[in-house]
Amino acid sequence: MSDCAADPGATPSKGPEHSGSGVPRHTTYSNLVQGENDLIGLIAYSLYKGDKMAYIKQHISSEGREPSETEMLAFCRTIALPGQISSLRNKAAVLLEEMNEEVLKVAVSELQDNFKNQLVEELKKPRSFWKSVGENLVANILAAAVTVLAVVVVYGAQIGYVKLAGDVFGYEVKPKNP
């Protein structure tokens, strides 16, 4: 039994299933796979092979024999229909996308776990008491400076910066008389 070979009665030079030499050629692969890097086509071809094996098993189960060349050719011609080719390629694309999503999910999960582990290790590292005190002191001084600056900007905008300077330094600002 051939793999989607030409009809035994066909003339050697006619039909898409024959090469110029008269040797039946396999067209299912070239119908499904559009290039050597066509992963979707390669997956579609494996789906076709699975369908073919299921057809053969079902035929043996129902008929008690393997399919004849003519029956296999009918199966292959059905698979070669544009709608079937498109369906196999679409199914392959969905399978590839699902696999990519699963691989991405696993990779993200591993990255998150690694990050958490690194963070825990970093937090577990002993730190110098005085270094921690110094870091906290600097952080508190910066926070206080930002707060004072915000108060000065807001208060100065409300009463005027000249009046604010007079209030801060304890003198009264009087307007000039001409």
Question: pLDDT tens-digit profile of 61-107?
Answer: 999 999 999 999 899 889 989 999 999 999 999 999 999 999 999 99
pLDDT band at 3 (very low <50, low <70, confident <90, very high): low
Say if residues 22 and 12 touch (Cβ distance below 8 Å): yes
Q: Say yes or no to pLDDT of 24 above 80.
A: no
Entry field: residues in the chain: 178
Q: What is the pLDDT of residue 165?
A: 84
Q: Residue 58: what residue type?
A: Q
pLDDT recorded at residue 13: 36
User: What would the two tokens of residue 50 be?
Assistant: 């699975």
Nearest C-alpha neighbor of 87 from the set 53, 54, 27, 40: 40
Q: What is the mean pLDDT of residues 130-150?
A: 94
Please check whether residue 27 is in contact with residue 2, taking contact to mean a CB–CB distance below 8 angstroms: no
User: What value does the mean pLDDT of the chain take?
Assistant: 85
Partnered with residue 18 across adjacent β-strands are: 24
Segment 126-143 shows an average pLDDT of: 91
Segment 36-58 mean pLDDT: 95
Beta bridge partners of 24: 18
Distance between CA 41 and CA 91 in Å, rounded?
10
* pLDDT of amino acid 16: 46
Model confidence at 25: pLDDT above 60: no
